Amino acid sequence: MLDEKYKKAARAIVKAGVFPFPINDTMLKILKKLITEEELDLVLAFKRNPSQTIEQLKQNSKLSEEQIQKYAKSLAKKGIIFNQPSSAGIMVYRLMPILMVGIFEYTFMRKIKFTEEEKEIAKLFAQLFHEYSGFIQENYDMIVPAIFESVRPYDRTVSILDKNVSGEEILISINEELEVPEQQIIPTQEVEAIIKKFDDIAVGHCFCRHHQDLSEKPCKTTSLRENCFSFGKSARYTSEQGFARMISKDEALQILKKSEESGLVHKAIHTHSDITKIETSICNCCKCCCGVFEWWRIGMTALTNWTNFLSSIDSSLCIGCGTCVEKCPVDAIQLNDDNIVEVNPTYCIGCGVCAHFCSENAISLLEGMRKVYVPPPKLRS
């Protein structure tokens, strides 16, 4: 009977997200570690609607308001329920999905203590992702067009804006006709400007690097851990629940500077993955730990992203050192037979990391909003 309740809770959590996770033993083990038996009734109240008011929850859960408040508070501390008031001031409770942005991210955002319990949960998540990859590969021809081709990009790249030797910005306008988001709105491209427009800013630990640390695969790119930003309502939620801490704009810019010096990729997350809406957070990602990059490589999800930039190589300046090939987080740059690098525009997310590390200033960024979509690699015939 209890296992059946956890399965129903798992269905509600999967329904709250965009990924068609199969309900399996690994997922149930994760949920049993995070959700107590007494909290299950509140989770089950979200099975038809992932966002509800207290009155709706009272009707759908048959719990008292006191019980709902108690369980919602404890589940929020574990990143399973988002509890913040709406713009109208009405408290809304939202069930979090497994992933993007959900239970996985909040589980590893707070400072880890390397306990055996944390290591076990990290191991279970890694196992779940590999099992999900297997599920996608087994149903590739059905799921890829049905799910990934129509899903909104998860994030938006905000480029590192370097200067070249002459001191000019390395942005060159292009006139190509590129697909642009609804309402033709081009959001802020400078990550510093995004940070400066918010009064409420919180910083938490990079959940992807923490997950890899617990899996004994520490980051090869940077020693930075506390550089995952949340803004506005998300900042208030993450700080209230202990996932992050509130910081000033000056401290945020200092952390950002260190992230840029490490060559990390700035990725902005928007409300409902709609880039015409305000940013909720910024991740500073590395090639070796970022979950999105890893999940794409193992065939679990598509690489999908909004970007306003595209890398461009000046072959007359390129010396074929291969640094950009090594640094590119999405394998969009390769050396050709003439030992000159070439960019695959289909893969390039316009992060500017290649230009940041190019000693010869041979790489510039072309400007023009576009959508990147690369399906998951088909690893099984």
Q: In the structure, what pLDDT confidence band is assigned to residue 381 with cuts at 50, 70 and 90? A: low
User: Which residues, at least 6 apart from 334, have a Cβ–Cβ distance to it below 8 Å?
Assistant: 325, 341, 342, 344
Question: Beta-carbon neighbour count of residue 56 at 10 Å?
Answer: 16
- Checking if the pLDDT of 159 tops 80, the result is no
pLDDT of residue 268: 95
- Checking if the pLDDT of 166 tops 80, the result is no
Pairing state of beta strands 244-247 and 201-204? antiparallel
- Checking if the pLDDT of 182 tops 80, the result is no
Q: pLDDT tens digits for 121-131? A: 999 999 999 99
% of the chain exceeding 70 in pLDDT: 92
Does residue 219 contact residue 186 with C-beta atoms inside 8 Å? no
DSSP conformation class of 169: B
Residues 368-377, buried b or exposed e (16+ Cβ, 10 A)?
bbbbbebbbe
Phi and psi at 302, nearest 5°, equal -80, 155
Average pLDDT estimate for 158-175: 47
pLDDT of residue 213: 98
- Checking if the pLDDT of 141 tops 70, the result is yes
% of the chain exceeding 90 in pLDDT: 81
- Checking if the pLDDT of 186 tops 80, the result is no
If residue 54 lies in a helix (H) or strand (E), which one and from where to where? helix 54-61
Does residue 328 contact residue 293 with C-beta atoms inside 8 Å? no
Q: pLDDT tens digits for 193-202? A: 999 999 999 9
User: Is this prediction's pTM over 0.85?
Assistant: yes
What's the topology of domain 2-144? Arc Repressor Mutant, subunit A (1.10.10)
Q: In the structure, what pLDDT confidence band is assigned to residue 180 with cuts at 50, 70 and 90? A: very low
Question: Beta-carbon neighbour count of residue 65 at 10 Å?
Answer: 11
- Checking if the pLDDT of 181 tops 60, the result is no
Q: pLDDT tens digits for 336-360? A: 999 999 999 999 999 999 999 999 9
For residues 128 and 118, give the distance between their C-alpha atoms in angstroms, rounded to a whole number. Answer: 15
- The four Cα atoms 40, 109, 215, 101 give a dihedral, to 10 degrees, of 60
Q: pLDDT tens digits for 8-20? A: 999 999 999 988 8
DSSP conformation class of 163: B
pLDDT of residue 161: 56
Q: In the structure, what pLDDT confidence band is assigned to residue 152 with cuts at 50, 70 and 90? A: confident
Question: Tokens 């490490």 label which residue?
Answer: 262
Q: In the structure, what pLDDT confidence band is assigned to residue 178 with cuts at 50, 70 and 90? A: very low
Of 120, 159, 97, 95, give the one whose Cα is nearest residue 33: 120
Three-point CA angle 182, 185, 188, nearest 5°: 135
Of 178, 127, 131, 169, give the one whose Cα is nearest residue 368: 178
Measured CA to CA in angstroms, residue 231 lies from 115, 127, 201, 349 at distances of 29, 31, 5, 23
Ranges of each domain in the chain: 2-144, 145-374
Q: pLDDT tens digits for 280-305? A: 999 999 999 999 999 999 999 999 99
pLDDT of residue 329: 95
Does residue 211 contact residue 122 with C-beta atoms inside 8 Å? yes
User: Which residues, at least 6 apart from 88, have a Cβ–Cβ distance to it below 8 Å?
Assistant: none
- Checking if the pLDDT of 184 tops 50, the result is no
**Of 49 and 190, the one with more pLDDT:** 49
The DSSP annotation for 227-290 comes to: -EEEEHHHHHHHHHTTSEEEE-HHHHHHHHHHHHHTTPEEEEEEGGG-TTSPEEEEEEE-TTT-
Pairing state of beta strands 91-95 and 51-52? antiparallel
